[in-house]
Structure 1
Amino acid sequence: MAAGALLLTGVLLGHRRLPGELGFLVETTLVFAGLGVPLLLLWALRRRSHGGAAAALVPLVAWALVVGPTWVPLDWSAPDAAAGTGSLTVASQNVAAGTGTAGESAATLAATGAQVIGLQELDGTSREEAGAALAASHPHRFTAGTVGLFSQYPIEKATALDLGLGWSRALRAVVDTPSGPVAVYVVHADSARLGAHDNRDRMLSALTSEVQTDDASRVLVIGDLNTVPTDRAFTDLASLLHEPNLSSGGPAVTWPTTLPLLALDHVLGRGVTFTERRSIIAGRSDHLATVARLNL
């Protein structure tokens, strides 16, 4: 029993030391490691072992240190939203082009009041559907490859980014808000699976370099990054930007929609203060959409 508690604690605190694919697998599922604690407690109760019960609390503390901070409600610490144009609402979703509901997704995101919308996994048809749904409300837009940015405010200095992949699955543009320019990245990182995540890792590394050298005072990164917050490939990017927790607390899981288990979709910022974040269903995508409000 003590050995099990020690092993679980070691995995939680030392997952960065795990090599290769074992490290990828553990870090992708690390949020679920906490489920080992009640199993240890049940084992201890069955054996009527006070020492075993005490030992089970050690990995519980480790889990709280590693995962717990991302579950704390943003509402506990977020300031009030700024009045008028001092705040900005952004929304993002992988629309799952094959579902044929990109227009529905776009309309749902527009209805949240988001002035800036980023969409991922666009093909020719879904790009047209989303564009039509947002034509009146978000007249400014820029698309590159499978991603698109739609805005109520003018878009400047827009450029496609391949992030080392060889074709565009990302973009950077400056949105000219009434409170000043904001550099916005819309990203759809390559898929990541056990034994097949090199392209994803390369894209996240290149994105980190882009953000690190970006001289904009206010930067947003939104999109399907195909990584969970505990993945080592996400660490460097996360060190440069801040990602808000959900306003209501709990894990910001977004995939799959039917039973969200993994937090693959992100909103991160620099030079801004997040005041709200929530996840919503939009269209028939297998990803929940992310909606965030921030002060500029």
Structure 2
Amino acid sequence: MRLAWAYLLTVALAWLLGEFVGERTVPTLLLAYLPAGVWVLPAPLVLAWTFWKRRGVGVALAGTLLALWGADFLHWRPQPGGTLRVVTYNVARGTLGTPGQIAGALRAADADVILLQETNFVRVGFGPELLAALPGYRVQAAREVTTLTRLPVLATRVDPAPGSGRAFLETEVRWRGQSVRVVNAHLNTVLVSSALRGDLATVRRTRDVRAAQVALLTEIAARQPGPLLLGGDLNTPPRGLVYRQLQRAFGPDAHGAAGHGPGWTFPGLFLRIDHVMARGLTPTRARVLAPAGSDHRPLLVEYP
């Protein structure tokens, strides 16, 4: 019985601290950025123990369900198709695949707007080969992010991202007679691995750089009213203060509103860190596609 209660309370406390305290302290930041599936791992042992003892089964089940819910294994939304298709994809500087592999995946997605990150390719010629394999798109680029669209482009704007050599690329497009601002972003990573070496100063420094970048994104969102979309590798799990701040500025997360399951876009660590959020647009379907030439997976979102 004690084991079941300890498991339930541990999962509940970890979720609450990671969600509502999050990046304010280093320990709660680590809780927020820890793969949520970790809390599911003890469930079989706890359930087996309570069944064997014939005590605390209900509490163990409650802890298991809470862990599964927190890790989005129970997440499900209806998924009708849409007419506006948006893809975000970190292509890992071309180090894990070929232009043909990446272009093939993007052509299969048949997206109207493609948001790519880490397009500062290592191999000379990789970028031109990739773009040549994606005819029909207008191309906008800023440092290591690139936006491709089949829609009319009305304007572009580039904002340097604080504390880094990166930039946020804003592209204003016309869709169904209205202007839609599309922001392509690649936030810096919080170097959680530094905590394992006891280097908490680095964790705090990278956290503060990201806070400045999120503040700039919030300013970008507030510049003008109307439909607005943010997509990219935000290096942020779907919990914590940064995630909620971005949603307040740009609108609901597409996967949360129209996705299935955990939606791991970075499967190597069982994390969903690539997101699409939108204001004035309601997603109908969000899907994580098969990987092709990257350690990330493409995220495809459709709007009616």
Q: CA RMSD in A?
A: 2.5
TM-score, normalised to structure 1's length? Answer: 0.84
- The alpha-carbon deviation at position 151 of structure 1 amounts to 0.9
Q: Which amino acid letter does the alignment assign opposite residue 160 of structure 1? A: V
- 1:91 corresponds, among 83, 87, 99, to 87
Q: Which residue of 2 aligns with 1:245?
A: 255
Distance across 2 between alignment mates of 1:244 and 1:102: 28
- The alpha-carbon deviation at position 293 of structure 1 amounts to 0.8
Instruction: State whether residues 259 and 285 of structure 2, in contact with CA within 8 Å, keep that contact through their aligned partners in structure 1.
Output: no
- Within 5 Å, give how 1:7-46 maps onto structure 2: 7-15=10-18, 16-17=20-21, 20-29=25-34, 31-32=36-37, 33-46=39-52
- 1:208 corresponds, among 193, 212, 218, to 218
Count matched residues.
280
Give deviations 1:6-65, integer Å, cap 9, x for gaps: 23322223333476221121111252223333332222223x142x22322443454466
Q: Which residue of 2 aligns with 1:84?
A: none
Q: Against the structure 1 CA distance between its residues 49 and 17, is the aligned structure 2 distance closer, same or farther, given a 3 Å change threshold?
A: farther
Q: Which residue of 1 aligns with 2:136?
A: 137
Distance across 1 between alignment mates of 2:177 and 2:45: 52
Distance across 1 between alignment mates of 2:178 and 2:16: 42
Distance across 2 between alignment mates of 1:269 and 1:103: 30
Q: Which amino acid letter does the alignment assign opposite residue 254 of structure 1? A: T
Distance across 1 between alignment mates of 2:220 and 2:281: 18
- The alpha-carbon deviation at position 92 of structure 1 amounts to 1.4
Q: Which residue of 2 aligns with 1:122?
A: 119
Distance across 2 between alignment mates of 1:42 and 1:210: 51
SS at match of 2:284: strand
Distance across 2 between alignment mates of 1:107 and 1:180: 30
Q: Which residue of 1 aligns with 2:197?
A: none
- 1:6 corresponds, among 3, 6, 9, to 9
- Residue 280 of structure 1 pairs with residue 289 of structure 2: yes
Which deviates more, 7-16 or 223-232?
7-16
Unaligned runs of 5+ in 2: 193-199
- The alpha-carbon deviation at position 102 of structure 1 amounts to 4.2
Instruction: State whether residues 80 and 285 of structure 2, in contact with CA within 8 Å, keep that contact through their aligned partners in structure 1.
Output: no
SS at match of 2:255: coil
Distance across 1 between alignment mates of 2:117 and 2:10: 39
Q: Against the structure 1 CA distance between its residues 283 and 8, is the aligned structure 2 distance closer, same or farther, given a 3 Å change threshold?
A: closer
- 1:59 corresponds, among 57, 63, 73, to 63
Which deviates more, 162-171 or 220-229?
162-171
Which deviates more, 144-153 or 230-239?
230-239
Aligned sequence identity (%): 25
Q: Against the structure 1 CA distance between its residues 71 and 237, is the aligned structure 2 distance closer, same or farther, given a 3 Å change threshold?
A: farther
Instruction: State whether residues 74 and 244 of structure 1, in contact with CA within 8 Å, keep that contact through their aligned partners in structure 2.
Output: no
- The alpha-carbon deviation at position 243 of structure 1 amounts to 1.3
Q: Against the structure 1 CA distance between its residues 210 and 176, is the aligned structure 2 distance closer, same or farther, given a 3 Å change threshold?
A: same
Q: Which residue of 2 aligns with 1:164?
A: 162
- Within 5 Å, give how 1:160-239 maps onto structure 2: 160-194=158-192, 195=200, 196=203, 197-198=206-207, 199-211=209-221, 213-239=222-248
Unaligned runs of 5+ in 1: 82-86
Instruction: State whether residues 35 and 271 of structure 2, in contact with CA within 8 Å, keep that contact through their aligned partners in structure 1.
Output: no
Q: Against the structure 1 CA distance between its residues 239 and 30, is the aligned structure 2 distance closer, same or farther, given a 3 Å change threshold?
A: farther
Instruction: State whether residues 8 and 36 of structure 1, in contact with CA within 8 Å, keep that contact through their aligned partners in structure 2.
Output: no
Instruction: State whether residues 291 and 297 of structure 2, in contact with CA within 8 Å, keep that contact through their aligned partners in structure 1.
Output: yes
Distance across 2 between alignment mates of 1:103 and 1:180: 34
Which deviates more, 221-230 or 191-200?
191-200
Q: Which amino acid letter does the alignment assign opposite residue 74 of structure 1? A: R
TM-score, normalised to structure 2's length? Answer: 0.82
Instruction: State whether residues 226 and 265 of structure 1, in contact with CA within 8 Å, keep that contact through their aligned partners in structure 2.
Output: yes
Distance across 2 between alignment mates of 1:129 and 1:24: 40
Give deviations 1:158-182, integer Å, cap 9, x for gaps: 1112232353332111012244211
Distance across 2 between alignment mates of 1:71 and 1:39: 20
Q: Which amino acid letter does the alignment assign opposite residue 224 of structure 2? A: D
